[in-house]
């Protein structure tokens, strides 16, 4: 059976209407393959299958067919192997959820670059409905209702209808529904021009790797928000030193994934990439200015201003070209040289946000930030028993291959029906399989856990009689996101007061660009977490990164222990750990603050 992974791109042959319809799915699939080597066609095919599912659901012809297409789409976007290779080898039907009909459609698309069946479905609805379905809480059925009942075909028409109070006349809509639609539209608009770190960082690494392999470089690095591991970025800065700027520029502007050359020059060039549409800037620096240039273009702006102020107090001038005393160069070749000349220790890029890092450096109190090498295991992972793609054994093998000592399996609880949550009996069987695996595995262990829904009143989705027999319990908010702050805070604190709950996952429940954070009084939540010894999660999934850096820092200041987890739904998503570690470093977390830096025996003891 093919190994599963996540991956995505989009081909120009789809046509402009298809590109419009696929826009949201492109972003979703790019997120899912973040940090994973990609093939172009896999997620292109997955996006088409998702679109077919949405169009079928809007057509209301057969309620089971959309489910089948979505299952096939999830499997295809998770393939580690190139789907074109599988097609050539006659192995498409080995992909979970891909039967004869879907296999034939994939074959046709791979061969012809288009699919008549999909084109016929597209003719039934305006392409602008795809944008409408990107609004949180608006799915195919609602989009159909808006179209047929109010003749709404795009976001602008939807905004106008909501502002005029026309939506509340529809069945199932209220005044609050209109407010939520307007919030959702604003959320989409606010995210325009921004890209998740999970998309930007792999692309930045791809550019650096391409230049390093094909151009005469001495040094190369990405800088900017990407280097600071910021959760969203606008563009990518690439810095190089070279003795042949023209050759580097030529290689940069002709990269195979360049869609448009915006500017091409000896020291600065700008391109836009496909399929992401990201702007990538290339700057050629002098070797003597490498460190100061890297510092300047890494930022952030406030950090740099404070460094320049320190330099001025010493009679020095700091800019991207170096640190100078009048015309004499004092430092500039490395970042460490510049910091040292300012009587500062090296400050890690993730901390450069002017949130006290320079003051801590002056006082000699910079933290020794946690690294990915410190991580011993991951406690938030799903299998194909619920909404994951891979088996228990496949997840275990992938975690062991990463050098982990353990992996915690935390499949969903029963009330989360959309994720096929496990019944109590099925959970007990699952735990039995985990115990059996551990009896046979000497050097690597699985932990039996659950991601258990925190119900609206703060009680847990499983009874205590079930929870107490697990190695650990994760509590999560997956429903009723719009509760008032007082009620939501009480809900989460009540869950933490349950002696069986060990971890709160993605505590603010946000989805970047898709769903706003729930209303929580985090001061009260973190105080309760410290009192109950409940661990707060830094969720590494790229569209979550929750807790974010500032909140992780606040939790640490309250004496709360934290854990960095990936929330993996496939084996390759275990590689999301680096996004979580980057977020934790933005929160000044050290190894001692993060519980999954502990050994298997230590973490079992910690959760007892």
Q: For the domain that residue 595 is a member of, what is the CATH number?
A: 3.20.20.140
Place of tokens 């850096």: 549
Ranges of beta strands (E only) in 450-533 are: 451-453, 474-476, 503-504
Q: pLDDT tens digits, residue range 432-472?
A: 999 999 999 999 999 999 999 999 999 999 999 999 999 99
d(CA 547, CA 554): 10
Average pLDDT (66-90) is: 85
Q: Could you give the CA distance from residue 259 to residue 592 in angstroms, rounded to a whole number?
A: 45
The percentage of the chain sitting over the pLDDT mark of 90, rounded to a whole number, equals 74
45-59, 362-376, 440-454, 538-552: segment of lowest average pLDDT: 45-59
Domain-terminating residue out of 161, 190, 219 = 190
Q: What is the pLDDT of residues 443-452, one digit of tens each?
A: 999 999 999 9
- 383 and 275 belong to one structural domain: no
- Dihedral of the alpha carbons of 147, 149, 155, 156, in degrees to the nearest 10: 130
Residue 389 is predicted with a pLDDT of 85
Confidence of residue 12 (pLDDT cuts 50, 70, 90): very low
Lowest-pLDDT range, 5-9, 51-55, 424-428, 545-549?
A: 5-9
Q: Containing domain of residue 180, as a range?
A: 12-190
Span 228-236, mean pLDDT? 95
Show Cβ contacts of residue 530 under 8 Å, excluding neighbours closer than 6 positions.
Answer: 558, 559, 560
Examine the domain organization and report whether 360 and 296 are in the same domain.
yes
| Residue ending a domain, choose from 151, 172, 190 | 190
Residue 137: pLDDT band with limits 50, 70, 90: confident
Pair 101, 149 in one domain: yes
**Same-domain status, 114 and 132:** yes
Q: According to the model, what pLDDT value does residue 4 have?
A: 29
Question: Distance between CA atoms of 221 and 212, rounded to whole angstroms?
Answer: 10
pTM score of the predicted model:
0.81
Domain count within the chain: 4
Is residue 345 in some structural domain? Answer: yes
Residue 382 domain-assigned (yes or no): yes
| pLDDT score, position 34 | 52
Kindly report the CATH number assigned to the domain that includes residue 118. 1.10.150.110
Domain membership flag for residue 350: yes
List the CATH number of the domain containing 226.
3.30.460.10
Question: What confidence tens digit (pLDDT) does each residue in 140-158 have?
Answer: 989 999 999 999 999 999 9
Check pLDDT > 70 for residue 30.
no
Of 190, 220, 240, the residue at which a domain comes to its end is 190
Strand partners, 270: 263, 281
Are residues 427 and 556 both part of a single domain?
yes
In a domain, 6, yes or no: no
Beta bridge partners of 570: none
Look at 24 and 253; give whichever has higher pLDDT. Answer: 253
Arithmetic mean of pLDDT, 95-117 = 91
pLDDT for 189 equals 74
Alpha-carbon 299 to chain mean position: 22
Could you read off the pLDDT of 235-286 as tens digits, one per residue?
A: 999 999 999 999 999 999 999 999 999 999 999 999 999 887 899 999 999 9
Are residue 83 and residue 216 in the same domain, yes or no? Answer: no
Confidence tier at 20 by pLDDT (50, 70, 90): very low
Residue 565 DSSP code: E
Q: Quick check: is 115 in a domain?
A: yes
Whether 165 and 22 share a structural domain: yes
CATH number of the domain residue 336 falls in:
3.30.210.10
* Within a domain: 5: no
pLDDT of 22 over the 70 cut: no
Q: Is the pLDDT of residue 381 over 50?
A: yes
| Stretch 275-303: mean pLDDT | 94
pLDDT digits (tens, 9 = 90+) for 85-97: 899 999 999 888 8
Q: What is the mean pLDDT of residues 293-311?
A: 96
Which residue do the tokens 């209808």 mark?
Answer: 161
- If asked whether residues 306 and 267 sit together in one domain, one would say no
Hey, is 503 helix, strand or coil? strand
Q: Are residues 273 and 145 both part of a single domain?
A: no
Domain for residue 376, yes or no? yes
Same domain, 359 and 424: no
Residue 28 has pLDDT above 60, yes or no: no
- Which range scores top for mean pLDDT: 52-61, 100-109, 172-181? 100-109
Flag whether 232 is in a domain: yes
Mean pLDDT of the chain: 90
Q: Reply yes or no on whether the pLDDT at 13 is more than 50.
A: no
Residues 177 and 200 in one domain: no
Say if residue 46 is in the same domain as residue 173: yes
Q: Would you place residue 130 in the very low, low, confident or very high pLDDT band (cuts 50, 70, 90)? A: confident
Provide the pLDDT for residue 350. Answer: 98
């Amino acid at each position: 059976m093919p190994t599963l992974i996540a991956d995505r791109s989009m081909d120009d042959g789809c046509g402009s209407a298809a590109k419009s319809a696929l826009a949201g799915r492109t972003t979703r699939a790019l997120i899912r393959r973040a940090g994973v080597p990609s093939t172009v066609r896999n997620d292109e095919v997955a996006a088409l299958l998702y679109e077919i599912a949405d169009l079928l659901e809007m057509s209301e012809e057969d309620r089971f067919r959309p489910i089948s297409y979505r299952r096939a789409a999830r499997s295809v976007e998770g393939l580690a192997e190139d789907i074109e290779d599988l097609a050539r080898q006659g192995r498409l039907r080995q992909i979970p959820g891909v039967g004869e009909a879907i296999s034939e459609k994939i074959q046709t698309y791979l061969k012809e670059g288009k699919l008549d069946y999909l084109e016929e479905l597209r003719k039934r609805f305006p392409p602008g409905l795809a944008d409408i379905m990107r609004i949180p809480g608006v799915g195919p059925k609602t989009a159909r209702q808006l179209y047929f009942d109010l003749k709404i075909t795009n976001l602008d028409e939807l905004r106008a209808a909501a502002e005029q109070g026309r939506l509340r006349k529809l069945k199932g809509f209220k005044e609050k529904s209109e407010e939520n639609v307007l919030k959702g539209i604003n959320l989409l608009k606010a995210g325009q021009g921004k890209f998740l770190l999970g998309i930007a960082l792999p692309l930045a690494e791809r550019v650096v790797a391409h230049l390093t392999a094909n151009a005469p470089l001495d040094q190369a690095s990405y800088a900017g928000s990407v280097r600071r591991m910021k959760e969203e970025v606008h563009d990518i800065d690439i810095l190089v030193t070279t003795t042949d700027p023209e050759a580097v520029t030529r290689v940069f502007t002709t990269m195979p994934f360049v869609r448009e050359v915006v500017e091409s020059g000896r020291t600065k060039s700008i391109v836009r990439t496909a399929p992401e549409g990201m702007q990538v800037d290339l700057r050629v620096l002098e070797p003597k200015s490498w460190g100061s240039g890297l510092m300047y273009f890494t930022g952030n702006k406030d950090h740099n201003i404070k460094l320049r102020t320190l330099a001025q107090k010493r009679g020095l001038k700091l800019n991207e070209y170096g640190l100078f005393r009048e015309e004499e160069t004092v430092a500039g070749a490395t970042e460490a040289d510049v910091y040292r000349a300012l009587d500062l220790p090296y400050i890690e890029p993730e901390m450069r946000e002017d949130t006290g890092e320079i003051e801590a450096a002056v006082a000699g109190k910079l933290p020794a930030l946690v690294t990915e090498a410190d991580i011993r295991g991951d406690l938030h992972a799903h299998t194909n028993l619920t909404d994951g793609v891979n088996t228990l054994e496949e997840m275990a093998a992938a975690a062991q291959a990463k050098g982990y000592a353990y992996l915690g399996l935390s499949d969903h609880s029963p009330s989360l029906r959309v994720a096929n949550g496990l019944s109590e009996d099925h959970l007990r069987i699952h735990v039995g399989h985990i115990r059996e695996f551990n009896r046979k595995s000497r050097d690597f262990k699985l932990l039996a856990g659950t991601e258990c829904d925190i119900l609206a009143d703060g009680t847990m989705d499983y009874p205590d009689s079930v929870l107490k027999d697990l190695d650990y319990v994760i509590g999560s908010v997956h429903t009723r996101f719009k509760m008032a702050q007082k009620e939501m805070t009480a809900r989460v604190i009540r869950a933490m007061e349950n002696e069986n709950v060990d971890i709160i996952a993605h505590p603010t429940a946000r989805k970047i660009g898709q769903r706003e954070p729930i209303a929580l009084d985090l001061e009260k939540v973190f105080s309760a977490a410290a009192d109950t010894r409940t661990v707060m999660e830094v969720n590494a999934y790229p569209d979550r990164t929750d807790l974010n850096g500032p909140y992780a820092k606040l939790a640490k200041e309250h004496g709360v222990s934290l854990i960095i987890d990936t929330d993996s739904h496939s084996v390759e998503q275990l590689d999301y750990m680096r996004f979580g570690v980057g977020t934790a470093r933005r929160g000044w977390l050290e190894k001692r603050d993060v519980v999954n830096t502990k050994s298997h025996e230590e973490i079992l003891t910690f959760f007892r």
